[in-house]
Homo-oligomer: A and B are copies of this chain.
């Protein structure tokens, strides 16, 4: 990894500056593989550091679906996400011209961009996903790297070994990862192991050429809380750990993706096991969602899981929208999901070792603004000041306090009783 570090000097400097830490600290972590800085060497971005001692990062997914193909709208979603503080964008398009959204994102933003190349390989195969060739799969990765994509999800942990564990399990939901499903369908249909696993060295060669960061996908992601923490999932963690080790040997940055749906009291163990089994690779999570009956509110069940996961060491949180499990999200769904995930990431940072001292200043400022009943300052400091202002102004009051208490404001009463100045 030493060579990698020396090729990424400007990114390391920028990350250190954004995090408020020493450059040497970032270099050391990058060299150990404990952090990644996704940045294709053919593209300039505003780089972000993901992993140990870095502030918690969030990703927002956009992309067309089979039924809704509007690249403009998907691009707008990305802009909204970036406005509300997303650190990266992933394009998961599966409808229309599959290169269109990702090209727009690469040209129109300076955020690190990720994709799942197997979608393109599967969708462009003749007649059915299972007819893609292994060449199609690797070529899709190269094609995305050529576009300038900074990180790619690769479901290389789905292999004969994990599939066997799946078949011996009694899962309710089997597979809910789309890439995982493509891979398993391909393996069963073609009677062969997953090319991304079997020819992983070839994948590493492509990654090396572009300094492409691998996000080792969570094909065995549990789809309901009952399926969490089971043998297929842990088997995949083990395989991903071995793949991280290989990647590091070749000077390739790698992070690992995690569950999914996990009961609240199993999240800590899950994240810690991931860290153990992958030699502290950065952990990228979707959710986890912590109950199955929150349908329509899964941005919140996901934020609850994400906050707890972050507290136990998850580094990179993928936004969940209210439309999760139900529909392709609208622009407003993305806005809501991004805000909540941004708040969850901040909650993590207020308790994350080495980060919390840097992160808590804004909470303290907010508390002071609140104790001074300084509303403009509160709106400025809030993650979503617009929303706060809207609620406050809907029900105004004649006092300087809010309409909940008015002249009975506890802060004011005690300030006066104890003879403190405003």
Contacts of A67 in B (CB 8 A): 395-399, 403, 406
Asked if B367 and A172 make an inter-chain contact with CB atoms under 8 angstroms apart, the answer reads yes
How many angstroms from the CA of A178 to the CA of B409 in the assembled complex?
Answer: 7
Interface size class of A (residues with CB under 8 A): 35 or more
- Give this chain's copy count: 2
Q: Is A327 a contact of B402 with CB atoms below 8 Å?
A: yes
Query: Is B383's CB under 8 angstroms from A182's CB?
Result: no
**B189, B296, B350, B398: the one within 8 Å of A391 (CB):** B296
In the complex where A327-B402, A351-B264, A408-B178 touch, is A387 in contact with B184 (Cβ < 8 A)? Answer: no
Across the interface, do B347 and A404 meet the contact criterion of CB distance under 8 Å?
no
> Is B293 within 8 A of A343, CB to CB?
yes
Residues of B within 8 A of A343 (CB): 291, 293-294, 297, 300-301
- B291→A227 contact, CB < 8 A: no
A404 and B323 in contact (CB under 8 A), knowing A293-B346, A294-B382, A297-B340? yes
A160 contacts chain B at the CB level, 8 A cutoff:
no
A415 interface residue, CB < 8 Å from B? yes
Please give the distance in Å from A138's CB to the nearest CB on chain B.
Answer: 21
Give the residues in chain B near A405, CB-CB below 8 Å.
Answer: 65-66, 94, 178
A185 engages B413 (CB within 8 Å): yes
CB distance from A229 to the nearest CB of B (A): 12
Is A127 in the interface zone, CB < 8 Å from B? no
Distance from A126 Cβ to chain B, minimum over Cβ atoms (Å): 16
A175 touches B363 (CB 8 A): no
Chain A 166-193: CB-based contact to B (< 8 A → 1; otherwise 0):
0100001111111011101100110000
**A residues 311-367 with Cβ under 8 Å of B?**
311, 322-323, 325-328, 330, 333, 339-340, 343-344, 346-348, 350-351, 360, 362-364, 366-367
Closest residue on chain B to residue A301 by CB atoms = B343
Minimum CB–CB distance from A93 to chain B (whole Å) comes to 11
What per-residue 1/0 map shows which CB atoms of A260-287 lie under 8 Å from chain B? 0001110000000000000000000000
A246 at the interface (CB under 8 A from B): no
Residues on the B chain within 8 Å of A68, using CB: 395, 403
Q: A308-B308, A343-B301 are in contact. Are A350 and B225 (CB under 8 A)?
A: yes
Q: How far is the CA of A381 from the CA of B296 in the complex (A)?
A: 12
In the complex, 26 of the A-B residue pairs with CB atoms within 8 angstroms, ordered by the A residue number, are A66-B397, A66-B407, A129-B413, A172-B364, A173-B371, A174-B415, A176-B410, A182-B413, A223-B370, A224-B366, A225-B350, A225-B363, A226-B363, A263-B350, A263-B351, A265-B351, A291-B363, A292-B362, A292-B367, A295-B379, A297-B387, A325-B404, A326-B391, A327-B391, A327-B404, A328-B395
